A = this chain, B = another copy of it.
Amino acid sequence: MINPLQKIITVSLSLFFFIACNNPVKNEIEIESLPKEIPFALVIHGGAGTIKKEYMTPEMETAYTNKLQEALDAGYQVLESGGTAILAVKKAINIMEDSPLFNAGKGAVFNSLGKQEMDASIMDGKTLNAGAVTGVSHIKNPINAAILVKDSTRHVMLSGFGAEEFAKQYDLKFEDESYFFTDKRYQQLLKAQGKEQALLEINTLNVELIDNHQYGTVGCVALDKDHNIAAGTSTGGMTNKKFGRIGDSPIIGAGTYANNLTCGVSCTGTGEYFMRTLAAHEVSNLIQYKNYDLKKALHQVIHIEIDSLGGDGGMISLDKNGNIAWNFNTSGMYRAYKKSTGENIVKLYEE
């Protein structure tokens, strides 16, 4: 029921808005006051270590560059079509897990018993929900199992045989050991074991040989159109690792962290130093409590906190405004980012 007074008001208001909207000056102001295009972005890494141009063939350089771009595009496509940051992280990491170039999924390194034990973790910056698996040997994409832990349990971390038993209840792809095998990684194991033998003769307490040249953990941080941040990391750990060693990649706050209030972070390197400094959480807290920007926070953690303990590695990060930063104290890090502003960067070496 519309009474005559309401009719007059409605017509007057319509007329006012018609005139207002056709006034070019008003219109300009209106466009300016509209929110700018919603920014979205993602950043990935494929490990830090001794990555120098002089050690690379042109073919290897092309292979790494193309694979990073493929992972970047897969994640970006999710974000562009309005998908979640979690899904973008999953898609980007899956591409790298499926590639033998990186130490995650297919092509994971071997432990001292010649087995592949993989770890992965994911964190949702909106809810602070998180999931992780450690020591899985047959799950094709460990990051997918981490997402399942986040979504389908009250837990954060499942390990080993138990984690695989859990994953079998769901529609996850399993593969046998031959799928994960690569000759390159096996040769690295033999080399590490040879070196270790030499080392052990000097110091029997040296239970692990760290080969600085063999990182290759993968990770991704994404910001979606809903302003949600997610971060994920997937790895095969360290070549020749022993005694069920767990590194930083499956540890929330060490290798992976995301919080919509601050940023998302994924790390790679000698995991123990990232665990002792809670590297990913530390970056977030420096932003939240010290008002550091992303770049300054990463510098502090990598070049002051981790450096002072003698650790090495790198980090990628992305803040709530879509700013991206990375840092490493190794000679290189496989890394790339793509933003809704059009930027698309792929890098391998220091510069």
Residues of A whose CB lies within 8 Å of any CB of B are: 128-130, 134-135, 152-163, 165-166, 205-208, 210, 242-247, 251-254, 257, 271-272, 275-278, 281-282, 285-286, 289-290, 309
Q: Is the pair B208, A242 in contact by a Cβ cutoff of 8 Å?
A: no
Specify the main secondary structure of chain A where it touches its partner.
mixed
Known: A154-B210, A208-B154, A286-B289. A245 touches B275 (CB 8 A): no
Contact check: which of B134, B161, B276, B290 meets A246 at CB < 8 Å?
B134
Contact check: which of B128, B208, B245 meets A276 at CB < 8 Å?
B128
The 10 A-B residue pairs whose C-beta atoms are closest, nearest first, are A162-B244, A159-B244, A162-B243, A289-B289, A166-B243, A253-B278, A157-B246, A285-B285, A278-B281, A158-B243
Given A251-B251, A286-B289; 9 other pairs, CB 8 A cutoff: A134-B159, A154-B207, A154-B208, A158-B244, A161-B244, A162-B242, A162-B243, A252-B276, A253-B254
The chain B residue sitting closest to A113, CB to CB, is B162
Q: Kindly list chain B residues whose C-beta atoms are within 8 Å of the C-beta of A166.
A: 207, 242-243
The chain B residue sitting closest to A204, CB to CB, is B169
Q: Kindly list chain B residues whose C-beta atoms are within 8 Å of the C-beta of A165.
A: 243
Q: Is the pair B207, A246 in contact by a Cβ cutoff of 8 Å?
A: no
Q: Kindly list chain B residues whose C-beta atoms are within 8 Å of the C-beta of A252.
A: 254, 275-276, 278
Q: How far is the CA of A207 from the CA of B128 in the complex (A)?
A: 20
Q: Kindly list chain B residues whose C-beta atoms are within 8 Å of the C-beta of A157.
A: 245-247, 251, 275
